[in-house]
Structure 1
Amino acid sequence: MKTMIEFTLNGKKVQTDAASDTPLVWVIRDEFGLKGTKFGCGVAMCGVCTVHIDGNAIRSCSYPVSLAKGKDVNTIESLNNEHPLQSAWVEEQVPQCGYCQSGQIMQAATLLDKNPNPSDEDIVNHMNGNYCRCMAYTRIKKAIKRAATSSVQYFDPNATSEGENA
């Protein structure tokens, strides 16, 4: 017998009857249709699947959905359309293939939430473990520095679990 697991996804209460050991990335993508969170390595090494759980960056590919019970989960779709990181990513022309970018941005957002004026060393240390096959690390660092100068709210509390901002 399956048990319903309830949690908040991008500001909306949701529930799933997925097996308790199902990786959160698959529940987010397959059940709730939020495709911004990508699957990369499957062993929490690359950071492509990074989401926020109660404000902390976690790798959703190795995070069982059962651990999300009662927690606040935010995906890339929850970012405010005018989020300073998204704007900085465009201005610094960060993406090449773009596959890792949602994970990079979600990881960077937790840094700026905790440290609104990070040094280069702070950025490198915080982003360590989020891989970019295109090697866009210099542009990623520049984009994070650019975003740090903005005071725009990071998350849209009215974002729906369907990935649309209200």
Structure 2
Amino acid sequence: MAEEKQLEQNQREKPMSFITMVIVTGLIGGIFWSGLGYLAYVFNLTEIRPNVILEPWLIGTWKEGGLGTVISIVMIGIISIVVAFIYYAALRRFPSIWVGGVFGIVLFLLVFFVLNPIFPGINPFRELERNTIITSLCFYILYGVFVGYSISYEESEIKYKERMERKTQQES
């Protein structure tokens, strides 16, 4: 009877589904990189706070304080889940660090040129300080690489396991 039962420590965890991994990657990526963006703001490397995401939608000065910062970072994490799904749908088959970097640049251009008018806390691009532009661009590139390579790596791992299973079945 003891042989039939596996000890809990010997049981393997079920791997996370690919969709769950995309959600976690997006959430963690958004929270991590916007948290670093806040630190960059604190150290005067950028003039943009994560709180700018709340400006068009909520009223009150509370959004400029600590609670507003935490809510902003979490909101960016949630929005980042959508961004991760966009990468998943369009680019997951490209296992290159460069694809993630270009994806980050495209996101930067989208936020700073297309979506800029809805965020009053972000000055027009030509009025931004050089440090803000460089820091933001670097964060967007690193975010794109993080999300993109994480998703592409998982995609290639799944394909590799499928090929190995087919090969094992053919040999049997």
Same fold (TM over 0.5): no
Shorter-chain TM-score category? under 0.3
TM-score by length of 1: 0.28
TM-score normalised to structure 2 length = 0.27
Higher strand share: 1
Bigger fraction of residues in helix: 2
